[in-house]
Homo-oligomer: A and B are copies of this chain.
Amino acid sequence: MPTVQVDLRRELFAEKGTAISQAIHEGLIEGLDMQSDDLFQVFRPHDEGEIVFSPTFGGADRRDLVWMRITMVHMFPPDAKQRMYAALVKHLEAAGLRHEDLLVSVVEVGFDDWYAGGPVGE
């Protein structure tokens, strides 16, 4: 049940929000073997000045920043994460984004760190 929070420019969201959403979803399905109905994303469009980034850090040629935070259970080994990054990049490039403009950060949590709408006991 990976969940994704995306901070990005308001104009980019207006122009490509649906394609970006779909690309992230395809990237997680391909990269993590995530189930196709496991879809939880929140987009936070930003006005000028709200996203601040280095255009050069890490040797990149960064012109924009699309910032994805993925919260997921700590069950994926490092190579699965690398596969996920590669799949996200592939699908987001297909949607017209530059890989240099992507920032992905993963936060791992436990299996008991979720409640997703099911029945609860007391």
Contact = CB atoms under 8 A, between A and B. Distances in A.
Given A81-B113, A107-B107, A118 B43 contact: no
Interface in A10-36: 13, 17-18, 21, 35
Nearest to A88: B115
Given A3-B103, A105-B3, A106-B113, A42 B57 contact: no
Interface string A41-58: 111111001111110111
Interface residues of A, number: 67
A103 B85 contact: no
Contacts of A83: 122
A39 B17 contact: no
